Amino acid sequence: MTTLEVRNWYFLASFAFLAAVAVLEFGGGDLVFADWLFRLQGGSWQLQDAWITNNLIHDQGRNLVGIVLLSILLAIALSFVMTPLRAYRGDLIYVLVTALASVAIVNILKETTHVDCPWDLTRYGGDKLYASLFEGVPVNQEPGRCFPAGHASGAYCWLGLFFIVRRRFPSLQWQTLAGVMTVGLVFGAAQQLRGAHFLSHDIWTIYLCWMTAALSLAVRDRLQ
């Protein structure tokens, strides 16, 4: 993938991201969608501690991300002793670094944006007032730690795989993208059903992970 192609990818992603944020954050789409999920569960977050959303998708999903991380670390280590893997060492390091960078960015933002989870808000049975990302924390209210979507970032952080597979095995590029996006959507949907995130939290996470992977590839190509 050339630098021009990468630029096209992140310009397209930026346009889609800004459109989504306009609808969800400024147009009230977040609240409309969360209201619907809340009503769907009878006016409570019944799936907050359910086995499928909490134990399976959240807890075991986190374990799955750990297995993927260890597998890539093992592949990088083996590339120093196994000749067939040597040609892929740079790609593996790129995927690992972009994944770790994406997760780090998301976690830094979670600590600094102070956005609450839906389940914390009075609108949904909690004890906090709603404030959008751009409004700041209401007076005398403890800051939240729910933005962007941390659990979903465990899947979306691997979007760098798409760029590498597109270059190495182009016939598998869309399957790779679909696989990463599907896992991310499952992770994100489960958290939204639990009341842990608004839809825009996941949109931000997708965009941050995508841009981290795309820009890192452009920098890598420039340095080579």
Domains held by the chain: number? 1
Arithmetic mean of pLDDT, 7-28: 87
Domain carrying residue 38? 3-223
Residue 4: which pLDDT band, with cuts at 50, 70 and 90? low
Task: Kindly tell me if the per-residue pLDDT of 9 is higher than 90.
Answer: no
Task: Kindly tell me if the per-residue pLDDT of 2 is higher than 80.
Answer: no
pLDDT of residue 7: 64
Question: Per-residue pLDDT tens for 37-95?
Answer: 999 999 999 999 999 999 999 999 999 999 999 999 999 999 999 999 999 999 999 99
Task: Kindly tell me if the per-residue pLDDT of 32 is higher than 90.
Answer: yes
Contacts of 171 (CB under 8 A, 6+ apart): none
Question: Per-residue pLDDT tens for 116-130?
Answer: 999 999 999 999 999
Q: Are 152 and 188 in contact (CB under 8 A)?
A: yes
How far apart CA 35 and CA 116 sit, in angstroms, is 15
pLDDT of residue 224: 78
